[in-house]
Chains A and B, each alone.
Chain A
Amino acid sequence: MLFNSFDFAVFFPIFFVLYWVVHKKLTLRNVFLLLSSYVFYAWWDWRFLFLIIFSSVVDFVVGGQIERAKTKSAKRTLLIVSLVTNLGLLAYFKYANFFIDSFINSFNFLGGSLDSFALNIILPVGISFYTFQTLSYTIDIYRGRLKPVKEWLPFFTFVAFFPQLVAGPIERASHLLPQFYKKYDFDYDRVKSGLLLALFGLFKKMVIADRVAILVNQVYNNPGDYSGHELIIATVFFAFQIYCDFSGYSDIAIGISRTLGFDLMKNFKSPYFSRSITEFWRRWHISLSTWFRDYVYIPLGGSRKGNYRTYANLFIVFLVSGLWHGAAITFIIWGAVHGVFIVVEKILKETSWTQAGTVAKFSKSYVGQLFWMLFTFVIVCFAWIFFRANSFADSLSVVLNSFQFKTISKKSLFGMGLEAPEFKAALVFIALLLLFEAFHNKFGALRIFNKQFILLRWAFYIIAIFVIIIFGMYGDAAPKEFIYFQF
């Protein structure tokens, strides 16, 4: 079930009312939450529900067994069982074809002769997200940072909690799991702020992401037909498409959870205001980057084993992050680009000339901050080319043709799939979004909004809803699914 679908518009109000009817009895509430989450997931494909249940059973049992195991090696064996099961499922469903393809290509490259073939595998929606979430449970128990839960119901509900089941935020068991043991009373202000956040998420998804997607899809599906500013515009639009799409989903997920009394972690903090790639990753997909930090980077040694090892660890983390996003060479290159820049930044940060003198002074000035912001945005956009391109050859074509400048004309601007009013609307909405984020970061928009006169607040609600109704992309022609569903 998609958050931006008619089905969800019917499902959620019914669910919401019933949830607050049963909320006082904890077990009943969790049963209701679990069943609703299973219905939500089964709406897409009920067969893959068994994968979630299987994953839940394995990690629940393994988590308990790790706690009971007397020896370190037994604990480690149990952890390996969990890792093999979860990552095995992920590898099979997500990477089997990629590995087969890579093997055949390498074999043929070395002089062999194998026909290419692909397994007919459907990628279960959200498998990358709930796999990482359940892994965090067993790994934390193994590390002694978390006690296993004794009751299966809260754990199963934690794994399947529908607002964040299919596209995150990837929650840690230590943060979300205890919330299934708490009772929540209906809090009008929390519900209101949750609904407003969800509305903001819908705006980002339906008004911006799905609008610019039309242009991005047209250009990136036919990259050879475009050059110069057309490719640059498509790439910049993609930067906003993926941001609004994914952060929109996260906002809806966090907002909905908030209406139910739950707190999910923040997943985005205005990433395009970052002044370095390092900062970008502190603001982009925070739940994933911190997961990689805690469960990949630190176990690899983090920054404890000298500079070179640190650089290598950072680079490895970003390569793995690229692979997590998709089983294709383009995603690995995307991760590598970020990895390279992170390492370069780390090296530069340790050099004296960036820390003092003119460079440091410039970096601290408004102009300098703006410069680094734009510089970071350019690098991020460059990396997005590999992320979005349909193939490695396409990504190279986009990179090379972007430098073939040609005259900017109305025909070329409005001939990429968005007519002039749609194109201008996209620019206006992106500008509004950036202005809002800048304002919100500085002053706290919700706090100021809540102080306004009731008529003004209601006028805002109605206008916001109508902006989504009229300018939102839905119906037959609109892109529907969230991009991160495929990861």
Chain B
Amino acid sequence: MVKLAAKVLVLIGFIVLALNFLGIYFIEPSLVEKKLDYLDNESPLDVAFFGSSHAHSSYDPRVIEAELGLNSLNFGFHAQRFEITQLIATHVLEKKQPKLAIIDIYKNSFLGFSDSITLGLNLKTIDNLPASLNKVTLLASTLKAEEVPFLIWPTLRNHAKWKNLYDYDANRRVYKFHGQENFKGFQSQNNCFNRGVWNTFVAKYKNRNLKREYKDLTKEEKALIENLISVFSNKNIPILFVNAPSYVNDYDSSSRRYTMSIKNYLSARGYPFLDFNKIKDSIGLNKTHYRDPNHLNGKGAYIVTKYLSEYIKRNYKWNFNTDNRIDEKSNRYIHFENELQNVLYLKEFNPYENEVLQGIVKVGIYQLEDDLYELIFETKKDSIDTLKIKLSYLIKDEELSYLAFDKMNIINDKVRYFDILTQCNLYRYEEKNYLVFPFQHTLPGINDLQLEVGDKLDTELFVISSDSLKK
């Protein structure tokens, strides 16, 4: 019996190890993995953001870097619940010791895994965290016991996706960045929502009860906050709670009630709470700063993070040295202006060209990461009604085969990407205007980039030859 028990235990040990080892093949590629990889970077972490999509859409580490000279990472993940925030925070603090933790908190932070989509999104996050006692305890306390093995090990949960082992996506870890802002965990799009989206949003809340009825946070909700606080307080890391701007807060009484309850509770506990919903109008946010009524776009995030930087400067007596920006190689504005190493291509247009190209002063290609680039246009005009820009590039045959599952438009072996850049994409940084268009591909696979500016009747085409790119 003892011999059998010992052998079974050893066998279980092997199986657990193998489950962990194989897990990577059963996780769908997502930005979560990429975000957590930043923790392996040697540079120190000053500010860490936590929260849901509100957090990852609203706080741009680029701005924190430029304004405060601090290195920051955004660990906001879709539909992140406080239970999961606690796990991520624990993981982050095992690797880094930030000066400040900024936690985005709102109604949904407390909702638990009420539906399968929320659960799926949160699992997608924690799949990328190593198996730990914390993880098991948390899952066991939150979910049904029989679900726990499936949730701890993606190999079990996603075993039916073994076919994906052969897929490019699973092996090459592709992330779809086209047209999406992405920087050190910050994720947003550059679009604005249209009238239809707004009307649908308003209609959704039309018949809701708008009476302001205050209710205290429940015991369980308070416990969630306290558990999270203890993760940071155990390491003497100060916490700043924030509430990202969202139109939901204006239309949903329940969200407002939560915001009020959270504020009162945190105030009683002596923790600062910066409610952007209260100040959103005064800091200049309007509908053009949102990609949907619930999330900011890149332009909105710039304003919010800039305000947040000033808030930090006022309230935390640290030595801010903006001259010695920690990771300026990654800061598109600084880099672009100074034509530093990561700008692979830069062309300044003469006044005639400038007029023909509808106000574009400069165009450049800026390399953010190995396979992530941004086309940056500096524009003369303060406002651009509609600037149509088509980007297309030729890719080599061997690269094409990897794109079988990509959503990009492939016409005659040429990957084409089409986007309309409007005011929504216009950033103001140190009195200059920038239009940014992120795209992703491994550069050696690209032959020639073509840019078409203007509409069909009045198109100017210029080609950025791969030879002209800085190696």
Whether chains A and B associate is yes
**Stretch from B156-164, B203-211, B304-312 at the A interface:** B156-164
Query: What is the bound-complex CA distance between A451 and B459, given in angstroms?
Result: 78
CB-CB nearest in chain A for B11: A461
A7 to B145, CA, bound (A): 10
- A20-B11 CB under 8 A given contacts A466-B18, A469-B155: no
Which of B3, B11, B156, B157 has a CB less than 8 Å from the CB of A462? B11
| Residues on A with beta carbons closer than 8 Å to the beta carbon of B3 | 188
Of the candidates B18, B19, B149, B160, the one whose C-beta lies within 8 Å of that of A473 is B160
CB distance from B160 to the nearest CB of A (A): 7
Q: Contacts A470-B159, A471-B162, A475-B150 given: A188-B18 contact, CB under 8 Å?
A: no
Interface residues on B, range: 20 to 34
Interface residues of B in 151-175 (CB under 8 A from A): 155-157, 159-160, 162-163, 166
Residue ID in chain B nearest A468 by CB atoms: B159
Q: B15: CB under 8 A from chain A?
A: yes
User: Taking the complex as formed, is B4 at the interface, i.e. its CB lies under 8 A from any CB of chain A?
Assistant: yes
| Contacts A188-B4, A471-B162 given; does A465 touch B15 at CB 8 Å | yes
Kindly list chain A residues whose C-beta atoms are within 8 Å of the C-beta of B18. 462, 466
* Residue A186, interface by CB 8 Å: yes
Give bound CA distance, A465 to B155, whole Å: 13
Contacts of B15 in A (CB 8 A): 462, 465-466
User: With a CB–CB cut-off of 8 A, which chain A residues contact B156?
Assistant: 469, 475
Asked if B14 contacts A462 (CB within 8 A), the reply is: yes
A469 and B159 within 8 A (CB):
yes
Contact with B along A183-206 (1 / 0, CB 8 A): 000101001100000000000000
User: Across the two chains, which residue of chain B brings its CB closest to A474?
Assistant: B159
Instruction: Please report the C-alpha to C-alpha distance between residue A114 and residue B155 in the assembled complex, in whole angstroms.
Output: 56
Q: Is A422 an interface residue (CB 8 A)?
A: yes
**Closest CB of chain A to B113's CB: distance in Å?**
16
- For residue B220, CB closer than 8 A to chain A, the reply is no
A470 CB contact (under 8 Å) in B14, B149, B150, B162: B162
* CB of B146 closer than 8 Å to a CB of A: yes
Q: Decide if B268 is an interface residue (CB 8 Å cutoff).
A: no
Number of interface residues of A (CB under 8 A): 23
Contacts of B19 on A, CB cut-off 8 Å? 469
How distant is B78 from chain A, measured CB to nearest CB, in Å? 21
* Interface hits, B261-309 → A, CB 8 Å: none
Give residues 468-487 of A contacting B (CB, 8 Å).
469-475, 477
Within 8 Å of chain B (Cβ to Cβ): is A419? yes
Select which of B14, B22, B155, B163 is within 8 A of A419 by beta carbon.
B163
Chain A residue at minimum C-beta to C-beta distance from B166: A421
A109 on the B face (CB < 8 A):
no
Please state if A475 and B157 are interface contacts (CB–CB under 8 Å). Answer: yes
Min CB gap B157→A, angstroms: 7
Q: How far is the CB of A89 from chain B (nearest CB, A)?
A: 33
Is B457 interfacial (CB-CB < 8 Å)? no
- The distance in angstroms between the C-alpha atoms of A465 and B4, with both chains bound, is 17
Q: Does B1 contact A (CB under 8 A)?
A: yes
Residues of chain A with a CB closer than 8 A to B162's CB: 470-471
Per-residue A-contact encoding for B126-166, CB less than 8 Å = 1, 0 else = 00000000000000000000100110000111011011001
A6 interface residue (CB < 8 Å to B): yes
Residue of B nearest to A420 (CB): B163
A422 surroundings in chain B (CB, below 8 A): 163
Other-chain residue from B4, B157, B159 in contact with A191 (beta carbon distance below 8 A): B4
A461 to B4, CA, bound (A): 14
Q: Which residues of B contact A7 (CB under 8 A)?
A: 146
**Smallest distance from the beta carbon of B193 to chain A beta carbons, Å?**
34
**Binary contact readout B1-26 vs A (1 if CB under 8 angstroms, 0 otherwise):** 10110000001001100110010000
What is the distance, in angstroms, from B23's C-beta to the closest C-beta of chain A? 12
Q: Is the CB of B155 within 8 A of A470?
A: yes
Tell me the bound Cα distance from A463 to B391 in angstroms.
49
Q: Considering the chains assembled together, what is the distance between the CA atoms of A458 and B12 in angstroms? A: 12
* Cβ contacts under 8 Å, B150 to chain A: 475
Q: Which A1-29 residues have a C-beta within 8 angstroms of B? A: 6-7, 20
- Docked-complex contact A6 and B155, CB < 8 angstroms: no
Task: Tell me the A407-454 residues at the B interface (CB within 8 Å).
Answer: 419, 421-422
Q: Which residues of B contact A188 (CB under 8 A)?
A: 3-4
Q: Is the CB of A475 within 8 A of B4?
A: no
Minimal beta-carbon separation of A349 from chain B (angstroms): 48
**Chain B residues near A458 (CB-CB < 8 A):** 11, 14
Counting chain A CB atoms within 10 Å of each CB, the highest count among B4, B150, B156 belongs to B4
Give A428 Cβ to nearest chain B Cβ, in Å: 13
Given contacts A7-B146, A462-B18, A475-B157, contact A186 B163 (CB under 8 A): no
Contact of A186 among B1, B11, B159, B160 (CB under 8 A): B1
| Residues of chain B lying within 8 A (CB to CB) of residue A474 | 159
Q: Enumerate chain B residues within 8 angstroms of A470, measured Cβ to Cβ.
A: 22, 155, 159, 162
CA distance A472 to B18 in the complex (A): 16
Interfacial chain A residues near B157, Cβ < 8 Å: 475
Given the complex of chains A and B, what is the CA–CA distance between A474 and B146 in angstroms?
13
**Which residues from chain A contact B159 at a C-beta distance below 8 Å?**
469-472, 474-475
In the assembly, what is the distance between CA of A469 and CA of B162, in Å?
A: 10
**Which residue in chain A gives the minimum CB-CB distance to B159?**
A470
CA distance A422 to B160 in the complex (A): 9
Closest residue on chain A to residue B116 by CB atoms: A476
| Neighbouring A residues of B163 by C-beta, 8 Å | 419, 421-422
CB of B368, distance to nearest CB on chain A (Å): 36
- The complex places the Cα of A422 from the Cα of B161 at a distance, in Å, of 10
Task: Note all chain A residues with C-beta closer than 8 A to B155.
Answer: 469-470
Measured between alpha carbons, how far is A477 from B166 in the docked complex, in Å? 22
CA gap between A192 and B3 in the complex, in Å: 11
Instruction: Determine which residue in B3, B19, B149, B159 has the highest number of CB atoms from chain A within 10 A of its CB, and name it.
Output: B159
If A458-B14, A470-B22, A474-B159 are given as contacts, then 14 extra A-B residue pairs at C-beta distance below 8 Å, sorted by A number, are A6-B146, A6-B149, A20-B1, A192-B4, A462-B18, A466-B18, A466-B22, A469-B155, A470-B162, A471-B159, A473-B160, A475-B150, A475-B156, A477-B160
Query: Nearest 7 pairs between A and B by C-beta?
Result: A6-B146, A421-B163, A470-B159, A186-B1, A470-B162, A462-B14, A20-B1
**A-B contacts, 7 listed (Cβ < 8 Å):** A422-B163, A458-B11, A466-B22, A472-B159, A474-B159, A475-B160, A477-B160
Q: Contact residues of B with A, CB < 8 Å?
A: 1, 3-4, 11, 14-15, 18-19, 22, 146, 149-150, 155-157, 159-160, 162-163, 166
Q: Which residues of A contact B (CB under 8 A)?
A: 6-7, 20, 186, 188, 191-192, 419, 421-422, 458, 461-462, 465-466, 469-475, 477
